[in-house]
Amino acid sequence: MRRVLQREITVLRHLAVPALVLLLATGSAFAQSGNQDQGKPAANNPADAAKENQRKTDQFVEAAQAINGPAGNPECVWLGRRVVQLIWVDDLDTAFRHVDLYDRFGCPGGHIQAAFRCLTRFGAQIDDKVPNSLRDHVHMCWINPAAQPPQPSPTPTPAAAAGSATPAAVPAGSSPTPAPAATATPQPAASPSPAPK
């Protein structure tokens, strides 16, 4: 009996030492990660947080004023814009979970579709390097799904610009002939129809 007890104690000693080392190592790792978080400065100061909260509130008020119906409700605005943004960044699993919640609040699904269609029209203007570019375009399309990107002004070709700037050369001894004026053909006046008796 005594040998059996001595073997068990020996085995437990061999297992206890590595277990104790592992326990101490993980405990110190947790303590270090906690200290690192406390050492970091806060990312947002209170003034920035207040500005961000005011901006969100202003956007909800703007949406409620611009959109008639449930799509202008704050919960629909918040969830709907998030769904559109998640679809744009190709996070479809998360977007579908948000759509379920969006539907539960009684928000119109067609507004998500219209806002995303609008966002695709502005795709060339969304720049990942510009802060909040995607977020701002999503909000704009949520407020007005019929928005269109500005059309670039047509630039004249060099030949057309040169032609309009200098008159054509006229041979010596001849006079330039004016271009014929466009004449409008008069339309016959409509005769009044007889009144029914």
Q: 23-46: per-residue pLDDT in tens?
A: 555 555 544 444 443 444 445 588
In the prediction, which pLDDT does 128 show?
A: 82
Please, what is the end-to-end C-alpha distance for the chain in angstroms?
129
Residues 72 and 118 grouped into a single domain: yes
On whether both 73 and 97 belong to a single domain, the answer is: yes
- Smallest CA-to-CA distance from 120 within 153, 145, 93, 157 is with 145
Q: What is the pLDDT of residue 111?
A: 94
Q: How many CA atoms lie within 13 A of 123 on its CB side?
A: 8
Number of domains within the chain: 2
Per the structure, the complete domain to which residue 120 belongs is given by 52-143
1 and 27 in a single domain? The answer is yes
Residues 32 and 56 in one domain: no
- For residue 169, tell me if it sits in a domain: no
190 within domain boundaries: no
pLDDT of residue 23: 58
Say if 71 falls within a structural domain: yes
Mean pLDDT of the chain: 73
Name which of 40, 32, 190, 66 is nearest 139 in CA terms. Answer: 66
26 and 57: one domain? no
161 pLDDT above the threshold of 80: no
d(CA 140, CA 79): 15
CB count within 10 Å of CB 132 equals 10
Are residues 76 and 137 located together in one domain of the fold? yes
Does some domain include residue 197?
Answer: no
Last-in-domain residue among 143, 159, 176: 143
Average pLDDT over residues 110-139: 90
Q: For residue 186, is it within any domain? A: no
Same domain, 32 and 60: no
Asked whether residue 31 falls in the same domain as residue 60, the answer is no
Average pLDDT value for residue range 7-15: 66
pLDDT of residue 60 exceeding 60: yes
Distance CA 62, CA 73 (A): 11
SS3 145: coil
The DSSP 8-state label assigned to residue 173 in this structure reads T
Same domain for 121 and 57 = yes
- 59 in the same domain as 139: yes
The answer to whether residue 31 is domain-embedded is yes
- Are 56 and 16 found together in one domain? no
Confidence of residue 89 (pLDDT cuts 50, 70, 90): very high
Domain termination site, one of 143, 160, 186: 143
Is 26 a member of any domain? yes
Task: Write down how long the chain is.
Answer: 197
Residue 188 placed within a domain:
no
56 and 139 belong to one structural domain: yes
